[in-house]
Amino acid sequence: MKLSETELTDVYVFDPDVYGDHRGYFMESWRQEWFEKIYSGLDFVQDNQSLSTKGTLRGLHYQIQRPQGKFIQSLEGEIFDVAVDLRKSSPNFGEWIGVILSSDNKRMLWVPPGFAHGFLVMSETAKIAYKCTDYYSREHERSIRWNDPDIGIDWPVGDAQVLLSEKDAEAGFLKDADTYS
């Protein structure tokens, strides 16, 4: 497994060792000791899966008071996965990183607590799986608009229509958001 830092402090890309032959492939998609190289004291308590069609954009989601770290991978298809630093004390506050995760490249992204997360489906469909460090909490859930000009995410949408949930279409802006210390 290769661990790579990104431009944002505490956000990492994991490239697993993949062993393939004419029958298919094998890889470890999670190993606690990988994670302990960058973080200790965080436990994963919930695993989620999402299936979405091309052009679906989910996010930017985060939780106040119960922040979730997320370890994300694409099981089928391709997504543009984004993390936005919401920690006011961070030199990277309001900055973002985008990484292509796919069933072909098998990359995984660690988005730590204190960040918003979102993704855009680039293939016909995509199934993603992610581990979370805290439970989902509707009362603490927050969203920031996917196209907030103060963040300036360069989503690879081209001329395609973006498909949003009602909640994401009505999300507010970073300047008005609840953020972290």
Catalytic residues, which ones? Answer: 61, 130
**Cβ density class 40-64: b for 16+ within 10 Å, e for less:** eeeebeeeeebebebbbbbbbbbbe
Quickly count: other Cβ atoms within 10 Å of residue 130's Cβ: 23
Instruction: Report the alpha-carbon distance of residue 59 to residue 86 in Å, rounded.
Output: 14
CA 91 vs CA 13, 33, 94, 95: distances in Å:
20, 28, 9, 9
**Cβ density class 88-122: b for 16+ within 10 Å, e for less:** eebebebebbbbbbbeeebbbbbbbbbbbbbbbbb
Instruction: Report the alpha-carbon distance of residue 34 to residue 50 in Å, rounded.
Output: 24
| Closest to 71 measured CA to CA, from 110, 105, 35 | 110
